[in-house]
A and B are shown apart, each in its own frame.
Chain A
Amino acid sequence: MKNVVILGAGTAGTIMANHLHKKLNKDEWEISIIDEREKHYYQPGYLFLPFDIYEPEDIVKPIQKFIPKGVQFISQRIERIEAKENTVRLINRQFLHYDILVIATGAQTAPEEVQGMKGEEWHKSIFDFYTFEGALALRNKLREWQGGKLVVHITEMPIKCPVAPLEFAFLADSYFKHKKMRDKVEITYVTPLSGAFTKPKATAALDHLLSEKKIAIESDFAIAEVDNDNKKIIDYGGKEIPFDLLVTVPTNKGDDLMERSGLGDDLNYVPTNKGSLQSIAHKNIFVIGDATNIPASKAGSVAHFEAEILTENILRFINGQPLKEDFDGHANCFVETGNGKALLIDFNYTHEPVEGGFPFANFGPLKLLKESKANHLGKLAFRWVYWNMLLKATPIPFVPAKMKLAGKHFD
């Protein structure tokens, strides 16, 4: 028997386990997936938890529920990857040999990267919402908060779901309006980028929404430290922004395992071919989802599109055929804009988000880069799609891995 070992049972790893289970010959291949955790979190739900839109139980399910029978699930901490020996070492001197390794260990927040961020005020007046614990603590804080200066902040790029902090600001606006206390809250959006988003057309649309919702924006802000005593954030240029409540997205990094194994870059992301998803250093190691260093968004939709292409490439690798460099960087993200509306953006390595219809060119029903109620309903419905189709690698109708150009309004 030959072995495929998948590291990480999050979105990307779980989808790969399902794809490979369907495609690999069971008499020849054994599939294992390793993750020390037992719970699978629906990460897009972290955005809704602080505003009491979702309950904790809406966004947590057992990992095992989504791993197909016939795939071995190992709930153990991974000590090290020994790429030269094709071996994964677990704790307790256990180890697995692999013929093919799929790294899907994702990205995590690292608040300790910024001086003072994880200080005395952490989870008192400084919160993150990129972890389950952070989002829940923030929900409890918001329930009782009386108002003041709310600062929504991104530490540095890249981050998972780059639109999430903006969505947080939009939802905060609508949450405080609903609580009839919007006049008591001053919202400032602080970003290291030069505008609201990373791509020009979407930035223009989103900048407009920020001003419409009276959310101030501070751009090009590279944070040097958080001053806990005086409650302000300070950047390297000396600019200071005071806060009563700081909601920050800390530095995101790949798993420490990559550092221990000598496989990561300076942020522990694994250097990966952006078209084929093969690791640069080792031919039998493939990388998917947030764990890669490829210039695509770190988003579940990206992992979903990558999985189709990676599965095909793993089959080609097994058959000794050349790999296809087919991944185009396709991402597809709903952007909550508050008041029961959302935008939808669809883009890839070469084409930025523009207006148009989705998934059907002239019909929609979803509209790209325009606020609508249908888009918001789409985002809410997506939770069902995630648990019931996406993780199980069931194809989602009309949404192919490669981006469609038809129906998009490029200049």
Chain B
Amino acid sequence: MKKEIGTATIEVNEEGFMTNFWQWSKNIGEELAKESSINLTPRHWQIIDYIQDEYRKEVPLSIRKIGKSGVVDIKQFYELFPKAPLKTATKIAGVPKPASCI
């Protein structure tokens, strides 16, 4: 389905994850963050960049992997993206929900 966000329109699935990564832009990322009540700081952006890099390399993401990445530890990851950090961070980054859960 489609979703209006700011002045743009994006394709999303029923959980609100973007289905076309190429439609993503920094502005859209900021709008998506607002929906999760998160104000993006440079620290948040480092993590979003990391997530998008891994996605481009087709590396499956998990909380464990992010904790070991050297970019952020798990505790801080939770502070930056409270409650369900991997879900929230991937949604803002415009990448599919991680399939680490089979």
Taking a contact as CB atoms under 8 Å apart, the answer to whether B78 and A237 are in contact is yes
Shortest CB-to-CB span from B69 to chain A, Å, is: 10
- Our pick among A158, A266, A296 for the contact of B101 (Cβ within 8 Å) is A158
Taking a contact as CB atoms under 8 Å apart, the answer to whether A236 and B78 are in contact is yes
Query: Does any Cβ of B come within 8 Å of A162's Cβ?
Result: yes
The digit string for B75-102, where 1 denotes a CB below 8 A from any CB of A, is 1011000111001000000000001111
Taking a contact as CB atoms under 8 Å apart, the answer to whether A222 and B74 are in contact is yes
Query: Does any Cβ of A come within 8 Å of B64's Cβ?
Result: yes
Query: Does any Cβ of B come within 8 Å of A361's Cβ?
Result: no
Query: Does any Cβ of B come within 8 Å of A388's Cβ?
Result: no
Interface residues of B (CB under 8 A from A): 60, 62-65, 68, 74-75, 77-78, 82-84, 87, 99-102
How far is B72's CA from A236's CA once the two chains are assembled, in angstroms? 13
The 3 A-B residue pairs with the shortest CB-CB distance, nearest first, are A220-B84, A236-B78, A198-B101
Shortest CB-to-CB span from B18 to chain A, Å, is: 18
The digit string for A280-301, where 1 denotes a CB below 8 A from any CB of B, is 0000000000000101111000
What residues of chain A lie closer than 8 Å to B83, measured between beta carbons?
220, 237
Taking a contact as CB atoms under 8 Å apart, the answer to whether A266 and B65 are in contact is yes
- Looking at B68, B74, B102, the one whose CB has the most chain A CB atoms below 10 A away is B102
What residues of chain B lie closer than 8 Å to A193, measured between beta carbons?
101
Instruction: Tell whether A297 pairs with B78 under 8 Å between CB atoms, given A194-B87, A220-B84.
Output: no
Query: Does any Cβ of B come within 8 Å of A224's Cβ?
Result: yes
Taking a contact as CB atoms under 8 Å apart, the answer to whether B75 and A266 are in contact is no
Taking a contact as CB atoms under 8 Å apart, the answer to whether B63 and A222 are in contact is yes
How far is B74's CA from A224's CA once the two chains are assembled, in angstroms? 9
How far is B102's CA from A224's CA once the two chains are assembled, in angstroms? 21
- Our pick among A224, A266, A293 for the contact of B68 (Cβ within 8 Å) is A266
How far is B102's CA from A297's CA once the two chains are assembled, in angstroms? 6
What residues of chain B lie closer than 8 Å to A156, measured between beta carbons?
62-64
Instruction: Tell whether A295 pairs with B60 under 8 Å between CB atoms, given A157-B101, A158-B101, A237-B78.
Output: yes
